[in-house]
Amino acid sequence: MTFGFASSAATSISTPADSASRLARMLEPAEWAAAGIPLLRNPREVVSGLHTRHRPTPTTAVVAVLDHEDRLAASASFTRRAVPADGWEFRNALLAHLRRVIPHDLRRRTPVRTAVLLYCRDGDERWTEEDGAWMWGLRDACTLHGLRCGAYITLTRGGWQVLGEGRGGRRPHLASPPGDLADASADEILPAPRTASGAAEPLRRTAAR
């Protein structure tokens, strides 16, 4: 499988030591492809469902947990901070949101649930150092939360792509209007989370369980 490369939009001036540390917390495409990441049964359904629920914009990360049948168990979205791409920072952000939406599985000998990450960014489908940092962060967050590390998906203006698999599509894309949850299958329709006052939170910041 071949990969294209593009410079990361998050690159900024830093010291050689900082750059070396950040590069160590990044996975190259070959490393990711060799990691045995499980294939999604229906990646288009997963991408469309997360796009509908979270309505992501550029620099939005959507982390989702799937059960053993690839059904959505929980998800959360957040906006990436304007700092240099660093797998350690991304790991901490992902782990914090995972802890808020679903209990850990650290007592299990073998993970049964899988975490996937959808990241929305400008540019094309080619791998960037920012993607490599997200991959490192997702893998490490999964280990610390007792989950299996799943697919890393980018959403750009050209469409979506599962990096390392070569699977993708034109819709949804970064400028796509959000879909309708009524179009989702009955198994995937989840109740809207509630605030302390009992009011339903906006779908944009949902943490579906």
137-154 confidence digits (pLDDT tens) = 999 999 999 999 999 999
CA 131/CA 163 separation, integer angstroms: 9
**What integer pLDDT is reported at residue 207 of this predicted model?**
39
Query: What's the Cα-to-Cα distance from 27 to each of 43, 91, 137, 175, 195, rounded to whole Å?
Result: 22, 13, 9, 28, 37
pLDDT of 177 > 80? The answer is yes
**What integer pLDDT is reported at residue 32 of this predicted model?**
93
Considering the chain, what is the average pLDDT of its residues? 81
CA 69/CA 54 separation, integer angstroms: 22
Q: Give me the mean pLDDT over the 118-127 stretch.
A: 93
pLDDT band at 181, cuts 50/70/90?
Answer: low
Residue 36 CA to its chain's centroid (Å): 17
**What integer pLDDT is reported at residue 15 of this predicted model?**
57
DSSP H or E stretch at residue 151? strand 148-156
Within the chain, residue ranges assigned H as helices are 16-24, 29-33, 43-54, 87-101, 129-145
53-109 confidence digits (pLDDT tens) = 999 999 999 999 999 999 999 999 999 988 889 999 999 999 999 999 999 999 888
pLDDT of 193 > 50? The answer is no
3-29 confidence digits (pLDDT tens) = 343 444 444 445 555 666 777 899 999
Q: Give me the mean pLDDT over the 17-46 stretch.
A: 87
